[in-house]
Amino acid sequence: MNILFLENKLRVDKLGILYLSAVLKSAGHNVNMIEDSVTPAEEYLNENHVDFIMYSVMSGEHPWYFERNRELKREFDFVSVFGGPHFTLFADDVLKDVAIDHVVVGPAESVINQIVNAELPEKVIRGSIPTDVNAILPPDREMLYQYDEFGKSNMKRFIAGRDCPMACSYCFNHSLRKVFKDQKKSFYQRTTPRRMVDEIKEVRDKYGLKTVYFNDDDWVEDHDWVREFCRIYKEEVNLPFCGSVKAKNVTEEIVKIMADASCHFMNVAIESANRQTQILIRRGWQNNDQIAEAVRLFESHGIMVRTQNIIGLPADDPLADALETYEFNIKLSPTDSWAAILQPFYGTDIWKVCRDKGYIDESVDCKKFYEGTPLDIPNKKEIENLHKWWYFAVKYKIPVKFLKIILQQDLTEEVKKQIQDYRWELTAKEIYGLDTEDESGVTMDNADYQVTDMDGDLLNDPDSPWGSSGDGGNLKFPFPPRNNDACASSDEKE
């Protein structure tokens, strides 16, 4: 069969479809992927026979995928298959849409070939949590890396584990666990350190690689795994790597091991520093002392930290909550600090909290990740302005009393954009050691130096469906060589 994964616009590796492509190819199918924004699907379908079009969807982008599929169905004959995180919570969306043939809820490795072989006729198909992640084929990167923008990118993405044991009320994890509660024993697996290192080496040798980015929700969750991985990785790869951690699982021993294995940068999530809000969003499992200690440990061992925060939360006083979180960030003084505005996805527990507090009604569509809050909360303007100023306010430790005056000022869309763009220009220089201008003063626009937002969209990209004021969390350019590694230099001093 000929199978096409259709994306709108991809800016970072989308591992989910690469894992599925490997499974499909192993069964002898022809699999390809195009970005509609680069090669319009009609153009491709006129030239190539396609039996199945597959769409991988995250919430927020779902309207685009549904509409595009309807358009294509009117003109071409194919079977449409949808999957991805959106459908863990939203499978009902699709029941009425006659252009959608199949939707898979959850991981699809175990069912994708059966769908293609017409062995599963149902519209909504339950996937399954892999029983052994080490038995899953490694992702088929060729499908994506045939495109230089990805194949030649210096930073490539990997994932060692699949799930997260927590149940934060704004996240899809709790509903994923409900759907697959009969597969409890298969949750929280990690590929072996050996397999992970082999996968990285293969990508390095085949495609080039300067920085490894782990998608795992908590890279340090299993300390034995980290010890063994870092031991092999240091010997056989030793490239800068980055990822995300839960502060409660960070210890000095683990941080030292990571720094010694070239760990360069870690995201540490705070979300809210207010204890009541932490409990409301079900992040009571870690406290501010643990967060502060994790940030201190990383930074003191030369691993840069970006703190991640959520503002616009449905606290009784959302602005006071955000400002308390802000002050906590100032105390921590991380290399970088980022705030998102809460988007309560329909069906999550936080959505129910927002509804019960009268902050939202069912008609609200949460897809403006950066522009504003969809909630009808007090101090909306101040919260949206705080989001724009966040990085500078934390960096320059602006006192709350003065910040409150700044937050009352009206910002035009142009000014908001300028603030965000400047924020990313500084981040590129300060964190990643790169100038956005080369020595001749010419602004670089080489793919290797593109700065993308959290959606993976290019900053200043007029075609971005999410606007241009993104987070910038995913940077594709190479990190500076780690010859000034904190551990190495302290060893030298000794």
Residues that bind ligand B12 (CB under 6 A): 12, 14-17, 19-20, 54-56, 58-61, 81-86, 89, 104, 107-109, 112, 159, 171-172, 215, 217, 340, 345, 369, 454-456, 474
Buried b (16+ CB within 10 A) or exposed e, 199-216: bbeebbeebebbbbbbbb
Least distance from ligand SF4 to the Cβ atom of residue 207, Å: 28
Least distance from ligand B12 to the Cβ atom of residue 94, Å: 12
Q: Which is nearer to ligand SF4, 101 or 349 (CB)?
A: 349
Least distance from ligand SF4 to the Cβ atom of residue 44, Å: 35
Partner that binds at residue 56, options ligand B12, ligand SF4, none, CB closer than 5 to 8 Å by kind: ligand B12
* Range in contact with ligand SF4 (rule: CB under 6 A) among 17-25, 166-174, 180-188, 440-448: 166-174
Q: Which is nearer to ligand SF4, 308 or 452 (CB)?
A: 308
Long-range contacts at 387-391 (CB < 8 A, ≥ 24 apart): 387/311, 387/312, 387/339, 387/340, 387/341, 388/416, 388/419, 388/420, 388/469, 389/419, 390/309, 390/311, 390/326, 390/337, 390/338, 390/339, 391/336, 391/337, 391/338, 391/423, 391/426, 391/427
Least distance from ligand B12 to the Cβ atom of residue 361, Å: 19
Pattern 207-246, ligand SF4, x by CB under 6 A: ----------x-----------------------------
Q: Which is nearer to ligand B12, 302 or 314 (CB)?
A: 314
Buried b (16+ CB within 10 A) or exposed e, 380-397: eebbbbbbbbbbebbbee
Least distance from ligand SF4 to the Cβ atom of residue 238, Å: 28
Partner that binds at residue 166, options ligand B12, ligand SF4, none, CB closer than 5 to 8 Å by kind: ligand SF4
Q: Which is nearer to ligand SF4, 108 or 176 (CB)?
A: 176
* Range in contact with ligand SF4 (rule: CB under 6 A) among 17-25, 160-168, 207-215, 477-485: 160-168
Among 72, 81, 100, 164, binds ligand SF4 (CB under 6 A): 164
Least distance from ligand SF4 to the Cβ atom of residue 166, Å: 4
Partner that binds at residue 167, options ligand SF4, ligand B12, none, CB closer than 5 to 8 Å by kind: ligand SF4
Kindly state the number of chain residues that form the binding site for ligand SF4, as judged by CB under 6 A: 7
Q: Which residue number has the CB closest to ligand B12?
A: 83
Among 173, 211, 278, 468, binds ligand SF4 (CB under 6 A): 173
* 143 vs 25: CA distance, rounded Å: 10
Partner that binds at residue 454, options ligand B12, ligand SF4, none, CB closer than 5 to 8 Å by kind: ligand B12
Amino acid at 188: Y
Among 15, 167, 364, 447, binds ligand SF4 (CB under 6 A): 167
* Residues near 254 by beta carbon (within 8 Å), at least 6 away in sequence: 220, 223, 226, 227
Is position 384 an interface residue for ligand SF4 (rule: CB under 6 A)? no
Least distance from ligand SF4 to the Cβ atom of residue 219, Å: 12
Partner that binds at residue 421, options ligand B12, ligand SF4, none, CB closer than 5 to 8 Å by kind: none
Q: Classify residue 432 as exposed, middle or buried by CB count within 10 Å of its CB (0-12, 13-18, 19+).
A: buried
Six-digit token pair at 300?
A: 């003191």
> Does residue 163 contact residue 187 with C-beta atoms inside 8 Å?
yes
* Residues binding ligand SF4 (CB under 6 A): 164, 166-168, 171, 173, 217
